[in-house]
């Protein structure tokens, strides 16, 4: 049975942290930071704001954007939610007025919202309208242990994105998806709340630059879609240089890749849905097909392709 994407929502904290704001602290210049990752600024929330608070704000924006009233299941993806249980999903459900609605936590960094979308596409026949939220407070992660690491301090921001996936016909029909995991390199990007974030940037970039094009080609080939026919690639905003490299590997112009990392930094599992929400808002009648893809700690990666249902018939 088909599953459909109905719309998106997003929330970004008001506080803007520029490269100049952090340059002296990490012993670098603002220009060096931008050249290294393509980021000019990022959003960091206030200490009292939680991952659940960010998730609720994005969910409310999504619900308002599409006029949705009923929610059958909530999935919250976050790699930065505090450890322990329960996770933020039940708090999000309560604050949305969905206290009796099942709520699932996906404690996954970067690729969590993509995995959540694929899960929702498989579960919406039973639960009908599923709200998938990616929410991250990466500024809290950066504060754990020791002196700031320039390689991570420059990258991360806070924010949340949301999408509604339903068995009811909607704007885009989900055509195909693929998910993968490989634990061989799991120690190259990891965090446990007891020590600073560990990131072997070279390994992460190398693996992502190989695996992202491959998984995108995997889903497109099965659907007989060529990369140049894709209207937009809505990716996890990990590193601008990485995304440009993926575009070149696929033989696609950079203009097909929606990029907002310069404004928000890497917001981990929130970034792909924030990008999708902005893209949809700036394109009232967006073309299709569209591709979602993400790569993150685990390593976990995947892709999803969706098409305009009015065109697909």
pLDDT at residue 309 in the model: 63
Strands 158-166 and 4-11: antiparallel
Residues 207-254: pLDDT tens digits? 999 999 999 999 999 999 999 999 999 999 999 999 999 999 999 999
pLDDT at residue 313 in the model: 44
H/E stretch holding 212 reads helix 201-222
Residues 292-302: pLDDT tens digits? 999 999 999 99
Cis, peptide link before residue 86, omega less than 30° from 0: yes
Q: Contact at 8 Å (CB) between 195 and 144?
A: yes
* 229-267 as b/e: b if 16+ CB within 10 A: ebebbbbbbbbbebbebbbebbebeeebbbbbbebbbbb
CA-to-CA distance for 57 and 55, rounded, in angstroms? Answer: 5
Band (pLDDT 50/70/90 cuts) for residue 148 is: low
pLDDT greater than 80 at residue 45: yes
Here the tokens at position 240 are: 């601008």
Kindly report the pTM of this predicted structure: 0.95
CA-to-CA distance for 14 and 263, rounded, in angstroms? Answer: 12
pLDDT greater than 60 at residue 310: no
Mean pLDDT of the chain: 93
CA-to-CA distance for 60 and 128, rounded, in angstroms? Answer: 18
* Listed residue (206, 177, 183) closest to 306, CA to CA: 177
Residues 23-42: pLDDT tens digits? 888 888 999 899 888 899 99
Q: Tell me how long the chain is.
A: 313
The percent of residues above 90 in pLDDT, for the chain, comes to 83
Q: How many Cβ atoms from other residues are within 10 Å of residue 100's Cβ?
A: 8
Residues 176-188: pLDDT tens digits? 999 999 999 999 9
In order of their start, the domains of the chain are 4-166 (3.40.47.10), 172-312 (3.40.47.10)
Q: For 275, what's the count of Cα atoms within 13 Å in the CB-facing half-sphere?
A: 31
Rounded to 10 degrees, what is the CA torsion of 12, 147, 202, 206?
-30
* Beta-bridge partner residues of 18: 41
The percent of residues above 70 in pLDDT, for the chain, comes to 98
Q: Contact at 8 Å (CB) between 301 and 254?
A: no
- What is the distance between the terminal CA atoms of the chain, rounded to a whole angstrom? 15
pLDDT at residue 225 in the model: 97
CA-to-CA distance for 294 and 269, rounded, in angstroms? Answer: 9
Q: Contact at 8 Å (CB) between 276 and 144?
A: no
* Beta-bridge partner residues of 234: 292
* Listed residue (90, 161, 102) closest to 126, CA to CA: 102
Indicate the DSSP class of residue 47: T
Q: Which residue has the tokens 């009796």?
A: 100
Residues 96-126: pLDDT tens digits? 999 899 999 999 999 999 999 999 999 999 9
CA-to-CA distance for 32 and 28, rounded, in angstroms? Answer: 6
Rg of the Cα atoms in the chain: 18
pLDDT at residue 147 in the model: 67
Q: Which residue has the tokens 């899960």?
A: 119
Find all residues with CB under 8 Å of 213, minimum gap 6, and list them.
246, 249, 250
- Cα separations in angstroms, 45 against 40, 120, 138: 17, 28, 9
pLDDT at residue 150 in the model: 79
């Amino acid at each position: 049975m088909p599953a459909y994407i109905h719309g998106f929502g997003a929330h970004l904290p008001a506080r803007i942290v520029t490269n100049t704001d952090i340059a002296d602290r990490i012993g670098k210049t603002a220009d060096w930071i931008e050249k290294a990752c393509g980021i000019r600024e990022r959003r960091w929330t206030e200490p009292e704001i939680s991952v659940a608070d960010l998730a609720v704000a994005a969910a409310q924006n999504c619900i308002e954007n599409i006029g949705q009233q009923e929610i059958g299941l909530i999935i919250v993806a976050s790699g930065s939610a505090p450890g322990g249980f329960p996770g933020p999903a039940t708090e999000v459900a309560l604050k949305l007025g969905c206290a009796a609605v099942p709520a699932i936590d996906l404690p996954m960094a970067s690729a969590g919202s993509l995995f959540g979308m694929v899960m929702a596409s498989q579960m919406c026949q039973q639960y009908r309208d599923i709200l998938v939220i990616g929410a991250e407070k990466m500024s809290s992660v950066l504060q754990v242990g020791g002196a700031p690491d320039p390689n991570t301090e420059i990258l991360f921001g806070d924010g949340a994105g949301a999408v509604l996936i339903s068995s009811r016909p909607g704007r885009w029909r989900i055509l195909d998806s693929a998910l993968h995991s490989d634990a061989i390199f799991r120690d190259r990007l990891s965090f446990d709340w007891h020590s600073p974030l560990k990131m072997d940037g070279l390994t992460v970039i190398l693996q992502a630059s190989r695996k992202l094009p491959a998984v995108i080609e995997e889903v497109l080939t099965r659907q007989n879609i060529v990369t140049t026919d894709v209207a937009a690639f809505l990716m996890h905003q990990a590193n601008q240089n990485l995304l440009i490299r993926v575009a070149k590997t696929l033989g696609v112009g950079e203009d097909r890749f929606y990029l907002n990392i310069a404004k928000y930094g890497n917001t981990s599992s929130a970034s792909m849905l924030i990008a999708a929400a902005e893209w949809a808002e700036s394109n009232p009648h967006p073309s299709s097909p569209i591709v979602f893809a993400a790569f993150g700690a685990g390593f976990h990666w995947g892709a999803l392709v969706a098409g305009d249902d009015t065109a697909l018939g």
